[in-house]
Amino acid sequence: MTLTLSDSELLRKGSYIAGAWREQGVGVLAVANPANGNVIAEVATVDRAGTEAAIAAAHDAMTSWREVPAKVRAQVLRRWFDLMMAHQEDLAVIMTTEQGKTLAESRGEVAYGASFMEWFGEQAKRIDGDVIPAPSADKRVICIKQPIGVVAAITPWNFPNAMIARKAAPALAAGCTIVIKPASETPLSALAMAELAERAGVPAGVVNVVVGSSSEIGPALTDSPLVRKLTFTGSTEVGRRLEQACSVTLKRTSMELGGNAPFIVFEDADLDAAVQGAVVSKYRNSGQTCVCTNRILVQDSIHDEFVSRLVAATAELKMGNGLDEGVQQGPLVNVGAVGDVEQLVQRSTEAGAHIALGGARSDLGPCYYQPTVLTGVTPDMAVFRNEIFGPVAPVTAFRDEAEAIALANDTEFGLASYFYTRDIGRVWRVAEALDYGMVGINEGIISNEMAPFGGVKASGSGREGSKYGIDDYLEIKYILMGGLDR
């Protein structure tokens, strides 16, 4: 066990159900550090019965939590925000150790996650209804908004804190309770958040975290008629299965799924800014984010110059254990992830792609893959069609704006997209033509709590963050009041 924290109580080793820690479970999950393979902690797991207990606790807690005034719910969320920021360093160390991203990125993610607690606490006070014109003088028509009910959240390992915060914060703000199933690679960040929720005064049963096998926990969540909404962040493949499973009980769903982000560089772009944007967007979290640049499309007149600058900037990235000073690229999450990336690169080079940099595992350890640049990539290649989820930047040349848009939209996915240009007409034409939920113009990092995050097509449905994000957790009730004869 190799984790040194200022507050050792943040390292919890069992599920959190109905305000109690279950440190004895039906099994044990060993959480390993991808930087060196060391086991950091063994977490007690729950099965279907434990998940059903969490759902029952959340259902019971709904009765009182929905009646808590919005202003008080806001204060609880604000305290959760304050505690996350006060413990930012410990939360970041836990995250880097179980997930691999650099400490700087983990600190950033904790602040990003906390921002949703702050934002949705503020939004709790703005869940306004409407008074609508009535069809006759003796009637009044009113709409009120009420919490949808118990929420189930299933979250991925690549943002172990923020993907939970983006769901728990609007749920609690709306007056819902929640059962969270974190990814098996990264349960410790989720449990540390639950510990802080408890300290913030979140009542027992309002937030529950269940750790265990997805084949036990998943069906318990999707089958339960008590769960009224499922919010999922993860792969498109699993999202499709969950959507089907939820259809039986007709739950509301939000699906934040995979991406295949194009990054278009037009010949009038500021090339230094474009290279810098490509590097941060591509290699953030070692390429393991759903909004990471997945395909770089470069106008042919500047292609060679852009590639040589991109290769030079990528070669500068320092790889190593995310806890070490100055490291910019950590390991991938596990050995399987390295194998997947290796295969994608191999299939693409066999089909004619050229390795301009990297293109192999690193000798730092079994979870490391070298930051890589591929050129000569065409739409039929595996790296162009699939979400890479690793530090590989494939470059494709294009002739003109129409071809760039066609290439960018040539995918089943539609999450994030980026382009660089200084032509104001093109800014609007291309932004409107891209078939994506999010567009970054002359920027490689676009996400913040005030903006709506989400995708179209196979990237899912629903929006997280922003003034729209709370709607997914609310039902609109229409009330007609008659008999008001004057």
Which residues in 361-379 are b (16+ Cβ under 10 Å) and which e? bbebbebbbbbbbbbbbee
Whether 104 and 437 have beta carbons less than 8 Å apart is answered as no
Is the CB of 143 or the CB of 450 nearer to ligand NAP?
450
Least distance CB 411 / ligand NAP (angstroms) = 13
* 285 makes contact with ligand NAP (CB under 6 A): no
CA distance 179 to 16: 9
Is the CB of 113 or the CB of 175 nearer to ligand NAP?
113
* 158 makes contact with ligand NAP (CB under 6 A): yes
Catalytic residue chosen out of the listed positions 185, 256, 401, 464: 256
Catalytic residue chosen out of the listed positions 246, 290, 292, 367: 290
Can you list the pairs that 130-137 forms with residues at least 24 positions away whose Cβ atoms lie under 8 Å? 134/480, 137/484, 137/486
User: Helices in 316-458 by DSSP H: which ranges?
Assistant: 335-350, 382-385, 401-409, 424-433
Cα angle value 290/292/294 (rounded, 5°)? 105
Least distance CB 185 / ligand NAP (angstroms) = 6
Whether 106 and 92 have beta carbons less than 8 Å apart is answered as yes
CA distance 417 to 459: 12
Whether 311 and 357 have beta carbons less than 8 Å apart is answered as yes
CA distance 316 to 328: 9
Stretch that binds ligand NAP, among 200-208, 236-244, 305-313, 418-426 (CB under 6 A): 236-244
Site for ligand NAP in 306-345 (CB under 6 A): none
Least distance CB 211 / ligand NAP (angstroms) = 9
* 155 makes contact with ligand NAP (CB under 6 A): yes
Among 14, 100, 113, 156, binds ligand NAP (CB under 6 A): 156
Pairing assessment for the beta strands 39-45 and 27-32 based on DSSP bridges = antiparallel
Is the CB of 154 or the CB of 327 nearer to ligand NAP?
154
Among 78, 140, 241, 429, binds ligand NAP (CB under 6 A): 241
Stretch that binds ligand NAP, among 13-21, 64-72, 155-163, 169-177 (CB under 6 A): 155-163
Is 290 one of the annotated active-site residues of the chain? yes
* 370 makes contact with ligand NAP (CB under 6 A): no
Which residues in 390-428 are b (16+ Cβ under 10 Å) and which e? bbbbbbbbbeebeebbebbbebebbbbbbbbbeeeebee
* 238 makes contact with ligand NAP (CB under 6 A): yes
Is 401 one of the annotated active-site residues of the chain? no
* 44 makes contact with ligand NAP (CB under 6 A): no
CA distance 364 to 367: 8
CA distance 107 to 323: 11
Among 91, 257, 341, 344, binds ligand NAP (CB under 6 A): 257
Least distance CB 387 / ligand NAP (angstroms) = 5
CA distance 451 to 465: 6
Among 36, 75, 146, 214, binds ligand NAP (CB under 6 A): 214
Stretch that binds ligand NAP, among 71-79, 253-261, 341-349, 364-372 (CB under 6 A): 253-261
Among 256, 340, 401, 449, binds ligand NAP (CB under 6 A): 256
CA distance 237 to 40: 30
User: What tokens does 332 get?
Assistant: 């991938």
Stretch that binds ligand NAP, among 4-12, 119-127, 152-160, 401-409 (CB under 6 A): 152-160
Among 73, 167, 181, 229, binds ligand NAP (CB under 6 A): 181
Residues 6+ apart with CB under 8 A from 150: 55, 58, 59, 62, 176, 177, 178, 179, 226, 227, 228, 229
Count of residues engaged in binding ligand NAP, rule: CB under 6 A: 27
Read off the amino acid at residue 265: V
Among 88, 233, 260, 417, binds ligand NAP (CB under 6 A): 233
Stretch that binds ligand NAP, among 30-38, 232-240, 310-318, 351-359 (CB under 6 A): 232-240
- Which stretches of the chain bind ligand NAP, using CB under 6 A? 154-159, 163, 181, 183-184, 214, 218, 233-235, 238, 241-242, 256-259, 290, 387, 415, 455, 460
Catalytically annotated residues: 256, 290
